[in-house]
Amino acid sequence: MSPRVFVTGYGIISAIGNGSEENFQSLVNRKMGYGSIEILETIHREDLPACEIKLTDAQLYAIAQVKNFSGYTRTALLGVIAAREAIHRAGLSQQQIRKAGILSASTTGGIRELEKYYFELQDNSLDGYFDVFSDTGNPGEHTERIAEVFGIKGYLSTISTACSSSANAIMQGAELIKNGIIETAICGGSESLSKFTLNGFNTLMILDKEQCRPFDKTRSGLNLGEGAAYLVLESEVSMNASDKKPLAEVVGYGNTNDAFHQTASSPDGGGAYLAMQQALKMGSVKPASISYINAHGTATENNDLSEGLAIQKLFANNVPAFSSTKPFTGHALAAAGGIEAVFCMLAINKQMIFPSINFNQQMEELNIAPVKDLLRDVDLRYVLSNSFGFGGNTSSLLFGSVENE
């Protein structure tokens, strides 16, 4: 029997709020983060709306409680803010924090600052404060910054599997605990909007200028987002040593590859099906026991079809309630899995299912539809959270409620 791993804290900052309480209120009140870009400097501020956090870097420095302009990238600042809430909620002691591991995911780290000073940094005749951003194109840099702010020494790792990254960071945190390498893992991811990603997704022609509409017949692409979110995971031993009550349990997870196309999902959702199936198998949970799926649901034509078919195949005539929360937060890439894991924690703890807003028209290829309106007083025993990405990366996390233990 594999050792158990519990969730004891979570923290988040996204386009719909700073902190889990603000995020929860937005989810309940259907408040979306979508709008014109105001903080990132780009020519696409009006024509490519996104779910941007309307806080300047100076404001983020203050919230993160780190010295102003000391070389933190926006990605690192968002990470510090979310990790601080997670650590606080878990009530970790200084000793626990020091021995903990930090596993953070990011696709581009601080490329936003690298691109801002790209030419200055290559000009040897210039001297400037921008030197501190010389290595921020490296996605691992933000994790080192977060570790240093909190004095985390136990383990440090950065994962980049495109849009499934932070789901894999949560998996890796659980694995390190099960293997006895650490007792506590702070795991999730951070991502900030940048010219690089905005233009990158634009060249792939998968950005919708309107609000994204997951699992809707008229869907035509995703809205990008930014944010950071972390879970604190603790071992059974660590739980037993304190009188802390866990918030949920990491019951299972699956990581597979679609092996179909570099940037597209297979039409039948083969990888997605396998990832969900593996998560259920690891947790010895039957499909019929799943109460809710937080879908990847990016609202690209390709993803939602592929994911929808995979869900239908796995659950047959017994498809649980599912929704995509991407219209709220946008697609925060490497942070998406962390953000949605926090939403799953909120769902389990508040006994609610958050809606797939913007869903109106049934997809012809599917015989299932997402939850349109907030559901209250639902007993969520087991919840799946899907995260899929470029390169065929498909991951699924299975959380369990600990209410009845």
Partner 1 sequence: MNKPVYYINGVGSISPQRTFNNDEFLPEISSYIENKLDCVLPEFKDYINPIQLRRLSRMLRAGLSAAIICLRDSNNQQPDGIITSTGDGFLRDTNKFLNEIFEFNEKQLTPTYFMQGTHNALAGLVALTLKCKGYNNTYVTSGLAFETSLHDAMMQLNADPDKTFLLGALDERDDAQYKIHLRTDNYKKEKINSRSLFDNPTRGTLQGEGTCFFSLSGQPGSNVWGLLKDVKVIHKPENANEIRSALHEVLTANDLRADQLDVLVNGVSGDVIHDQLLAEIVETELSFLPEVRFKHLCGEYCTASSFGLWLGLSILKKQVIPASVLFNGKKPKNPIKHVLLLNQYFGRNYSFILISSC
Q: Which residues bind partner 1 (CB under 8 A)?
A: 42-44, 106-107, 111, 114-115, 118-119, 121-122, 124, 131, 134-135, 137-141, 143-144, 147-148, 153, 155-162, 168, 172, 175-176, 178-179, 181, 195-196, 199-200, 202-204, 255-263, 270-271, 274, 389-393
Q: Rounded distance, CA 333 to CA 226, Å? A: 8
Minimum distance, C-beta of residue 62 to partner 1, in the bound complex (Å):
26
Q: Is 296 a catalytic residue?
A: yes
**Residue of 142, 187, 212, 296 marked active site:** 296
* Distance (Å, whole) CA 256 – CA 270: 9
Comparing CB distances to partner 1, the nearer of 257 and 351 is 257
Reduced DSSP (H G I as helix, E B as strand, rest coil) percent helix, strand, coil of the chain, to 5: 35, 20, 40
Q: Looking at beta carbons only, is 136 or 324 nearer to partner 1?
A: 136
**Which candidate in 51, 142, 163, 187 is catalytic?**
163
Q: Measured from the CB atom, is 23 or 386 closer to partner 1?
A: 386
Cβ-based nearer residue to partner 1, 255 or 358: 255
Do the Cβ atoms of 237 and 183 come closer than 8 Å? yes
Nearest approach in angstroms of CB 389 to partner 1 is 7
Q: DSSP class of residue 337?
A: H
> Least distance (Å) from partner 1 to the CB of residue 9?
23
Residue 231, beta-bridge partner list: 10, 187
Least distance (Å) from partner 1 to the CB of residue 48?
10
Residues 192 and 75 sit within 8 Å (Cβ to Cβ): yes
Choose, from 51, 142, 331, 344, the residue flagged as catalytic: 331
Instruction: Kindly tell me which of 175 and 301 has the beta carbon lying closer to partner 1.
Output: 175
List, as one string, the DSSP characters of 63-95.
HHT--TTSS--HHHHHHHHHHHHHHHHHT--HH
Asked if residues 14 and 329 have their Cβ atoms less than 8 Å apart, the reply is yes
Sign of CA dihedral 70, 72, 73, 77: negative
Distance CA 36, CA 16 (A): 14
Task: Return the residue matching tokens 């007993």.
Answer: 379
Residue 275's H or E segment, with its range, is helix 270-282
Residues 6+ positions from 356 with CB-CB distance below 8 Å: 214, 215, 295, 297, 322, 323, 324, 325, 327, 370, 371, 372
Determine contact, residues 215/295, Cβ cutoff 8 Å.
Answer: yes
Rounded to a whole number of angstroms, the minimum distance from the CB of residue 53 to partner 1 is: 21
What is the C-alpha to C-alpha distance for residues 339 and 337, in angstroms, rounded to an integer? 6
261 labelled catalytic: no
44 as an active site residue: the answer is no
CA angle 335, 210, 322 (to 5 degrees): 55
User: Least CB distance from residue 19 to partner 1, whole Å?
Assistant: 28
Smallest gap from residue 325 Cβ to partner 1 (A): 24
**CA atoms 19, 337, 94, 138: torsion sign:** negative
Nearer to partner 1, 214 or 389 (CB): 389
Nearer to partner 1, 2 or 317 (CB): 2
CA distance 230 to 261: 30
Least separation in angstroms between residue 228's CB and partner 1 is: 16
Angle (CA) 236 237 238, round 5°: 90
Helix spans in 134-194 (H): 141-150, 165-178
Q: Which is nearer to partner 1, 20 or 255 (CB)?
A: 255
Catalytically annotated residues: 163, 296, 331
